[in-house]
Structure 1
């Protein structure tokens, strides 16, 4: 049966273990039910900000292997210019247990290369030339994929039900630039309205929109593929090309295998 049970802490009553257990379990049960069908990825927060010679990670929540992990305070990681790929990622540790606690944790660090092992999650990447400064401000939507000297968040998995998807910062930026160009097709406005809300947009919706808008069939699109397709669509919108023009290029539908 459905219940709503909360302990009463009143003067003269004996503090029972069950009462404390209710306080312990309720928030965990609530969050586990709320995010139980979400894929692994960032639930909220965890944005990156460049300050001097450090990259600051904002407080946030991530989900990994059906567990929620919380970063309660922002943390700063020093970075160096190597001219090589570097990745900011969480490495989740094995469970530790003692008489008082069960601890599951994830260590955040900057690693060379772009390899993601099992039990790791990306929060961003960059390739910084020696003598250059790292930046987290983008000139436009396409600039978010710039290879050098730029914080790249395209590959960060954001959690939504049943799958992960692009950062809402990316889809919201797409919406902002698309609206400035006044798209001509109602189909665009429907998708853009989802993006403009600032919430993660499901991968299935993004891929369905890009396939219909570009007249292509995509298979297993990566985050980079989705961003690249949205860049192409934004170019079409700026040039005033509607869906009929877009799908007519090349004489019909095309299949892109990424």
Structure 2
């Protein structure tokens, strides 16, 4: 991925500053009800209060930690299973014919549609949420891997066979490296889908987590905590995505340079 130029970084910074200034001025001039749009100062005060006293028997880091534990556990479980299965399915059409109907059936379903079943089967604790997030992660990763293998150029494969490479060597040294850019794209997509699903799941059935904190605060019209939770979710989402991009840049330095 092409790195941002200094000018692009400045534009990004200016955009953030403009948004903050509009937010500050709107609340400072009293253009909106503070119960609907809190001031930046009240959101900051809410952050300090929750950092010191926690929220509903949990500290802010415990709420965030509960969410991240669910998300990361499901994400890595899906990654470990979906990547080799997706690559194998892309390489073997018969294997793809077995798993494709299952993936294509549940992939378009809204995750919360079958979350009720998972809660009935596994309870409202972490097991059902991790299973839900696993399914949310699995489909994007699997599909990206299958697609990546299918679109590998035949010339690359035939050239490897010409010099005497075995099927395993072709897979490890030709197909797999060629698939890495698409695999990371699938990982980024899966993480975004899973984070969205996580927050929704915590709002449905949980007693901790950032999503639950936002929902609970809404019951008491605590817009300062709602804004704080949304900002934290946005920042952590960006950091998680940047982490994958960082690893991708180290492992796939040739991406975008073909």
Identify the TM-score tier after normalising by the shorter chain.
Answer: under 0.3
Calculate the TM-score normalised by the size of structure 1: 0.23
Higher share in strand = 1
Calculate the TM-score normalised by the size of structure 2: 0.23
Per chain length, whose mean CA-contact separation is higher, i.e. which structure has more relative contact order (CA < 8 Å, sep 6+)? 2
